Every structure is written in structure tokens, then in C-alpha cells.
A and B are shown apart, each in its own frame.
Chain A
Amino acid sequence: MSLRLVITDNHPIIRSGIRMLFQEENGFEIVGEAEDGLDAVQLCEQLSPDLVMLDVSMPKMNGIEAARAIKEKCPDTKIAIFSSYSNPEYITYAFEAGASAYLLKDEDMDKLPPILKAVANGETYVSKEAEESVAAYQLDMKKQESLESLLTAREKQILQRIVDGKTTKEIAYELEISARTAETHKYNIMQKLNTHDIATLVRFAISHQLVSVTTE
């Protein structure tokens, strides 16, 4: 039995290129063509294909949003994103939305049929050239999850002094900035940490270990 495929791209020229590629290939049947994400979701609901190929940037609904909707409505349909962007953001979002493969449009087309077959069998795939950037991106994301990275170096200095019980005037003097600037920093810190008064701010800073507390 051949693999039933829906292809999605808002450019007819790309769709006809993909069609041409799979005509030569055994084991594939293109059962539908969609020109935007919304179209693709409807086609998948009607046809329940084995696999849907989605472009990312499309009118009405983009490929990532379409992937999310398809995953929900037809959980058995595998999703392959076929995109011209190699940004790790796109790739991460695509997999989060439920895609099994992320393919780049400038990749060697000959590789496409075997990859899609593997994906239909439950494997995942990311283009080689994107793999590295995805790894770096995920590391980066992990690092930024900490609350500490929410504050700038200057703000950390100021927060420490607030916790130490210093007044705005003292802080301004120590850091050689104007009182007005120190006041703004204080306001920004509270805005960022979603606290409304100094007492809550101090409690928050200590409980989240954003500052060091010296006990005498």
C-alpha cells in the first residue's frame, strides 16, 4: 500500500515541483494539495492522509498553527514541515506543535522520499545543517529560564542594596547615579518581578535567591 500524502504550499510552482518528484517514485500517492494552512487542516480532516507536508509562511494560517490543529484533529497523520527557514526557533516551534520532521527547501530533493517514508514509520528528522543550531538554541533557552537572567547587572546591584535596607539616596550615592535613575531602576525591577511594594520585593528576592543575605 502506498503512502497517502497531502502537500501544502501557497506557491503553485513548489507544489508542482513536489508532485513531479513523487510521480517518479513508487509507494507515494498525492491525495490532496492545499494552498494555505486552513485548507490543509480541512483536507486532512476529510482525507486522513498518512502524512502532510506543510510550508511555514502562508496566508490565513501558517504551517505551525496548521500543524497544531492537524495534530489535534487527526492524531494519526504525520506532519513534515517543509520550509525555507533554518532558524532554530521555527524548528523548535514546529516540533512543539507536533511535527515529526523539519525539512529545508534547499535540501537535496533526492533525499525527500526516503525521509518521508521513515517519518511515516514513526521516526523524526531534522535537516543536518539545522541540528547544531537547535542544540545551541535549547541550551540558550534553558539558561534564560532562570529568574536571575531577568535582571540586568545594574539591577542586581540595586536589588542587593534594597534588600540590605539602603535608601534610594544611599544607593544612588554608592553607585554614582542620580536618585532619579535609582528610583527608575527600582520601579523597573518591581515591574519585572511583578511585585507591588518593597516588602514583597525583598521577600521575593530572598526566597528566589536573587540576592545574597548576610546574617550577622
Chain B
Amino acid sequence: MENILIVDDNKQTIQQVDELLSSFGYSSLYTLEPEFLFEILESKPVDLILLDVHMPGEDGVSLLKKVKNHSVFSSIPVIMLTGDTDERLLEKCFEAGAMDFINKPIHDIVLKSRVKSALSIRDHILSLRKQGSSLKNALQIATMGIWEFDCTNRTMKWSSEMYQIFGRSPDEFPSSIENFLRAVHPEDTKVIQPYIEDLFDNHKVVGQIDFRIIRPDESVRIVHQQAEILEKEGKPVHILGITQDITNQQRSTALQHAYRRQNQIREEERERLARDLHDEVIQIFNMLKLKLNVSTKLNCSTQHEQCWVYDNFENCLELINTGNQTLRQIINDLYPSILKDLGLGPALRAHIRDLNQRMNMQIELHVSSGLGSWPSEIELAVFRITQEALNNIVKHAETPHAQVVIGQRNNVLWLQVEDQGKGMLVEEINLESMPKSLGLFLMKERVSQLGGKITIHSQIGQGTSIFLEIPNPSIIGK
């Protein structure tokens, strides 16, 4: 049941209204002395206030202002009670935030319907506010910013989430088209420029767009943007837009893809390993068994038989050697023990020499003399990344020339793999969004898991360069 507070210095009015309200099904409180208003509000929940305009002491209008400026009670609707028809006074009441007024003497029908509509307006406002705050929450969870563009004076307004997305504060980065463009990643400016022109100059919406922005801390985020033009009498007045930070979504989709692909590659490798072992190693064992079987069945009584057995043994030795080499190659492909035994530099050297011989490449390696030894996790990662990068060069770069340089500086390990081949498109090396090359994406993941960073530069016809840096965790720990 709604609680209605009556504030009036006239006992009869209070009595009348009190009776009427209870007959309408409301419960009511009252006070003859306006100074008790806030005391009552603080002690009891009140849904509506009926406030007399003319009272001795503090008058209704100034009391109304106090209620409307109060941090907690300002949302309680107030209906003014007045015997006065002075328009100035009424205007003052509405300006101060009164929802309605009722003329004295009070008619029951008028009271009933005004109270009812005031309470229903209050309910609507409360539910709108609730929706607004859940929308605000939703926007924050979805890292979604809202902006509004005024087509007449070309000003822009950003919601607080927009600043979060840009990683800026409103004082140093006021909302404007210029600042919006300034945040865009330079490589995406070409894409975004025509979109912005269409939208803000020609008032045309050309679908949705994804692009990258750079924050002041140099981190790159991917955002999704869509806009809507609001017209009035056929003319564009406002442009409403949302900008959403979709970096995490994109990253997790890309990771899912990459891991799926990685599993697939792993299965393919297992299959290949099983095939190699079966086709090459098992066949050698079978041959050996066959040959040794024949030899044991001979009693070597003739010289011819003796010679044959001797040859047969020679043959077996050769087979064993072949098997040995094959197995060693397979084992080395699985895990190069030189990495564990001698460390990263020699392992890279052996790998590159082998690659140069087998694939007819001319890859040069330079290991800076101060490389030292690194945690095995880092050495393995750097070895695998180099392997992957060189495989890419063998497969795609269309050049035999490449360089691998590795060294350390201030306890940061750095590696560079560069080729003079055909190069890649910028989109292919854009590792923040859905990458074209999952290999490169996984490379980046591996480096960032180790607390390092990787930069890739490539241009068509100019080759590709990968540069990575990984800090030594044992040093940082200390």
C-alpha cells in the first residue's frame, strides 16, 4: 500500500484528505508543522507528498525546493495544494519540481485521479531509471561506448565508456571527430577516412566497420562501430553511434581457431610419425629378421654357403646403419637433443645447416657472442619460433636468402629472422585481429606468454622481418 504524506497547517484539510485517501485505499501520514517534513521522510517510506503552498513559517515553495534538491528524497513526487490561482506562483511551483497541483477546496474525484496519475508517473520514471542503469551496466560489460553527433554544429558527445575504450580522460582528449581519427591505428586510417566522410559530411551510413585504435600506452585494440542517422523533417539532425571494443572476443575466436589448427597439425604429425616408423623402420626390422632367419637355417658346410652367410651379415650391418640413421632423423625432428645438451646457439646452427642442405637454402646465422644460456622454456620457444619462421620462408618467400640473428641485451633475449623474399600484405601480419596466418598468431601468443613482444614487418617485394624480445624471468624475479 502506498504511503502518502500530507503537509498542511489546516487541521480540517488534513482530516478531509486523510479520510479520502484511506477510502481510495492509500495509507497516509500527516504533519501540521512543515519543519517536521524531513524527520518524517527519514523515519517512514513515503511515495507521494501533498504539500500546502501557504503555511506559516517556511512556505511550500521553499520546502518543495529542499525536497527536490535532496540527494535521497528528490525522486518523491510532490503535488502542491493551493487555494490560490496566482499564475506566477503556480509557475514557480512547477519550476521548483512540483508534479501537479490541486485546488482547494479539494474535490474527491480530482484528488483521486491526480494522486493516481502522480504515482503512476513515478512508477514509470523508476522503471526507466532501472532500465537505464542496467543498460549502463550492459554497456560496461560489453565495453561498448555510445556517441552522439550533432549535425548542425558538428559537435560530438562521447559516453564515459568511449573514454575507457580509447584509454583517455575527457580533459586531455575532448570528444571530437579529430580526436576520434587520432586514435585510429595509422594502418587503418585509409579504411576509416572514407567511412567518416560519408557519415559526418554526407550523412550516409555504409554498414558497420571494424578497425584498430592505439591507446596512449601503445596497446592496440580492435573496435566495432555502427551508426544510425536521426532525421527531422527529412533532414539529418543527429547521428547516434556505438563503438565496441571487440579485442577480447576477436582474440578468443582467433585462439580457438589457432588451437584447433594446432591440434590438427599435431594429429597430422603423429600420423606422419606412425607412417615413417612403419614404412621405414619396421620394414628394416622385417628384412633383418628374414635375412638372419635364412642364415641360421644354413649349416655353412660349403664355402659357397659360408660366403653367402658372410655377405648376408654385411648386408644386415648396412641395414642396421640405415635404420639407425632413419630413427635418429625421426627423433631429431621430434626433439633436437642438441638444444638440451649444448643450448640455443648450437641447436640453431645445426638446424639451419641441415635446412640449407636439405632444402637448398642459403640461410645465414649470427649468434652474438654474449648470448649465454637461458631458461629451457625460453630456449625451446625461440627454437620452435625460428623453425616455424624458417619453414614459412622455405614454403612461401620464394628466395633462398635469409638471415637469423640472435643475441641478448640487458637480460632481454632478442631474435631476428629476415628474408629478402616476396613479402606479405599488411593484413596477413595484422596479429591483433583474426590473423591470416595462424602460425604467426601462435608465434605471437607463445612470445607474449613468456612476457615478450614480437614485431613483424613485411611489404610486398621487400621481404619479411620478424623481431622478438623476451626478458629473462629469473632476473626480473630478483
Interface residues of chain A, those whose CB is within 8 Å of chain B, are: 56-57, 62-64, 84-85, 87, 89-90, 93, 106, 137, 140, 144-145, 149-154, 176-178, 180-181, 184-185, 188, 191-192, 194
Residue interface bits B307-348, CB-to-A below 8 A is 1, else 0: 000000000000001001000100000000110111000110
For residue B459, CB closer than 8 A to chain A, the reply is: yes
- A194 partner residues in chain B, CB cutoff 8 A: 409
Question: Cα distance A181–B466 when bound, in Å?
Answer: 11
Residue of B nearest to A87 (CB): B350
The answer to whether A152 and B342 have CB atoms under 8 Å apart is no
- B386 partner residues in chain A, CB cutoff 8 A: none
Q: Could you say which of A63, A89, A154 contacts B418, with CB atoms under 8 Å apart?
A: A154
Given A154-B463, A191-B414, A57:B403 Cβ within 8 A: no
- A87 partner residues in chain B, CB cutoff 8 A: 338, 346, 350
Q: Could you say which of B321, B342, B366, B414 contacts A89, with CB atoms under 8 Å apart?
A: B342
For residue B349, CB closer than 8 A to chain A, the reply is: yes
- B350 partner residues in chain A, CB cutoff 8 A: 87, 89
The answer to whether B409 and A191 have CB atoms under 8 Å apart is yes
Question: Cα distance A93–B420 when bound, in Å?
Answer: 32
The answer to whether B349 and A89 have CB atoms under 8 Å apart is yes
A98 CB, nearest partner CB in chain B, Å: 15
Question: Cα distance A123–B251 when bound, in Å?
Answer: 61
Question: Cα distance A176–B462 when bound, in Å?
Answer: 9
- A177 partner residues in chain B, CB cutoff 8 A: 457, 459, 462
The answer to whether B465 and A89 have CB atoms under 8 Å apart is no
A50 CB, nearest partner CB in chain B, Å: 26
For residue B15, CB closer than 8 A to chain A, the reply is: no
Question: Cα distance A63–B342 when bound, in Å?
Answer: 10
Q: Could you say which of B340, B403, B409 contacts A152, with CB atoms under 8 Å apart?
A: B403
Residue of A nearest to B186 (CB): A180
30 contacts between A and B (CB under 8 A): A57-B337, A57-B341, A62-B340, A62-B341, A64-B341, A87-B346, A89-B338, A89-B342, A89-B349, A90-B342, A90-B346, A106-B321, A137-B349, A137-B353, A144-B366, A150-B366, A150-B368, A153-B420, A154-B463, A176-B462, A178-B459, A181-B457, A181-B459, A184-B455, A188-B467, A191-B409, A191-B469, A192-B414, A192-B416, A194-B409
**Other CB < 8 Å A-B pairs besides A144-B364, A185-B465, 14 of them?**
A62-B340, A87-B346, A89-B349, A90-B341, A106-B321, A145-B369, A150-B405, A152-B416, A153-B420, A154-B463, A188-B414, A191-B409, A191-B414, A194-B409
Q: Could you say which of A106, A144, A154 contacts B465, with CB atoms under 8 Å apart?
A: A154
Question: Cα distance A188–B456 when bound, in Å?
Answer: 12
Report the 10 A-B pairs with minimum CB-CB distance, sorted nearest first.
A89-B346, A149-B366, A152-B418, A181-B457, A152-B403, A57-B337, A87-B350, A62-B341, A144-B366, A188-B467
Given A144-B366, A180-B186, A150:B342 Cβ within 8 A: no
A19 CB, nearest partner CB in chain B, Å: 20
Within 8 A of A (CB), among B428-468: 455, 457, 459, 462-463, 465, 467
The answer to whether B455 and A149 have CB atoms under 8 Å apart is no
For residue B367, CB closer than 8 A to chain A, the reply is: yes
Interface residues of chain B, those whose CB is within 8 Å of chain A, are: 186, 321, 324, 328, 337-338, 340-342, 346-347, 349-350, 353, 364-369, 403, 405, 407, 409, 414, 416, 418, 420, 455, 457, 459, 462-463, 465, 467, 469
- B420 partner residues in chain A, CB cutoff 8 A: 153
- A64 partner residues in chain B, CB cutoff 8 A: 341-342
- A149 partner residues in chain B, CB cutoff 8 A: 364, 366
Residue of A nearest to B458 (CB): A181
Question: Cα distance A56–B346 when bound, in Å?
Answer: 14
A169 CB, nearest partner CB in chain B, Å: 14
- B365 partner residues in chain A, CB cutoff 8 A: 144
Question: Cα distance A191–B368 when bound, in Å?
Answer: 12
Question: Cα distance A181–B346 when bound, in Å?
Answer: 31
A180 CB, nearest partner CB in chain B, Å: 7
Question: Cα distance A90–B353 when bound, in Å?
Answer: 14
B411 CB, nearest partner CB in chain A, Å: 12
Most buried by B among A151, A185, A188: A188
Residue of B nearest to A65 (CB): B341
Most buried by B among A62, A90, A137, A192: A192
- B469 partner residues in chain A, CB cutoff 8 A: 191
The answer to whether B346 and A93 have CB atoms under 8 Å apart is yes
Question: Cα distance A185–B459 when bound, in Å?
Answer: 14
The answer to whether B418 and A90 have CB atoms under 8 Å apart is no
The answer to whether A57 and B340 have CB atoms under 8 Å apart is yes
